[in-house]
Structure formats: structure tokens, C-alpha cells
Amino acid sequence: VLDLGRHMPIDRIARYLGVSWDTVRDILVRDLRARYARIRLRELTRIAIDEICIGKGRFLTLVLDLDSGAVVFVGEGKGGCALCPFWRRLRASRARIQAVATDMASGYVAAVREHLPDAAHVLDRFHVMKLFNEKLSDLRRNLFREATDSQQRRVLKGTRWLLLKRSHRLDDSRDEQERLDEALRLNEPLAIAYYLKEDLAQFWEQPSRSAAEEFLEDWTLRAFETDIAPLRQMAINVWTHWESLLNWYDHPISTGPLEGMNNKI
């Protein structure tokens, strides 16, 4: 049954062997449980933690082994509490976790610091830039509300997605660069925020950790000195997660593989 199970569906196996569908199904299920019911955690070294919404306000928290690509834990809910059973199993396994990738959710960050104090915590690049894009969108929305000039309002109204795009991805055939340049020319605060966003994306492209630290110091100072509220808030977030950002240069990991797994789930 197990050998045939790799090549044909249950009903054909049952017909070929002259047994019931239920008998074949039970054999296959028992084999799956024996092989996968208890995942070994002892060899874990690098993991990613993220949440997934499965509809109607229900969330699951997933832990992925970044080396094997296996989901090693699924917890009900989101935040630090959802990980409690995982921490108990991890302690019992005596695994030595070297690095953990998460988003910027305070519950996951606090849980990692409490339960894995010796592991390097790495903030996911995508989520850092996503937070900045949210603040950039808030700034554009506020400028639109405050604008009294009809031309400014017209230009601002059509630039939301242009501001969120990386500069090298703007479509010249649709005059996106020209439209963006016009919006930035008419709104100095928006221009400052946009170019700081483009600069921050270069943090992950520095030649070394020491160079990245110098880059981050300069970027944070420039953002804080703008007196633009969303940018100062982002600068505070960067200072708060300083070490977790720089840890990427020692452990270049992310929650990206887990995002792909979430899509499959």
C-alpha cells in the first residue's frame, strides 16, 4: 500500500489490492503520523516567525526552519502567547538557535528577546520598508487634506503608488517618473520623505556591518532633524530596533520563505 501510494490514488490502490478504500486510507494516515507527528527541533539553528490570517479574524503563528524549509510549529492566534507551546518544546529539545527573523510586531520581538536572549534577532527587510511606506502614505494624505491649491491636490491625488515604488521600477512609458517629479517639486516635505525612503532601502546594500552602522546613524539623524512627524517616528523605530537591523549583516535571513509558505497554506 505504501509503495503504491506514491504512484496512484487511494481508490485505485483499493481496487488493485481487493481491499476497502477505508483500509488503504487508514494505512496511509498511520504512516504519515508516524513520520511527521513529532518534528525534531534539536537541529534547529535559524528560524523565522510570522502570522497568517486564515479568514474571519482567525490567525495562526508559524515557525519555519530556514535551513530545511520545514514548518516546525503552528500555534493558534498571533503574538507572543501563540508561541508558548513552541518555547516549551524548544527548551526540551536543547536546540541552539543562532538567529531568528521576525517582523516588527512587538509581541514577537518581546517573545524572542525573552526566550532566546543569546540568539541574534533579525528584523525582516520587507516589513521595515512596509512601515516606512505606511508613514509616507500618511504624510501624503495629510498634505492632500491641507492643500489649498487645486494643482497641488490634483498632483497629490495620483501619486500614492508612485511614491511607494522604488525609483528603478517606475514605468517611463506611462510617464511615472515625470508625474512623480512634479509632485515632489510642489511638496518639499513629500520630497524629503521620498528620498529618505529611497536612502533607507540602501541600508541592506552596504559592504560591511560597520559601514551599515555609519549609514544608519547618518540616516536616522537626517530623518529626526526634518521636523516631519512621520519621519521622526520612523527614526525612533530605527533607534529602537538598532541591533536587530544590524544583525542582518551577521545573519542575512528574512521571513520571506515563510511568506511564501503562508501563501501555500
Question: Buried b / exposed e across 134-162, counting CB within 10 Å, b at 16+?
Answer: ebbeebbeebbeebeeeebeebbeebeeb
Task: Name the band, by pLDDT with cuts 50, 70 and 90, for residue 54.
Answer: confident
What is the predicted pLDDT for the residue at 56?
82
> Which pTM was predicted?
0.75
What is the predicted pLDDT for the residue at 116?
96
Average of per-residue pLDDT values in the chain: 86
| Least confident among 1-10, 80-89, 137-146, 237-246 | 137-146
Query: In degrees, to the nearest 5, what angle opens at C-alpha 133 toward C-alphas 132 and 135?
Result: 65
Q: Is the pLDDT of residue 32 over 60?
A: yes
Q: Is the pLDDT of residue 146 over 80?
A: no
Q: Is the pLDDT of residue 22 over 90?
A: yes
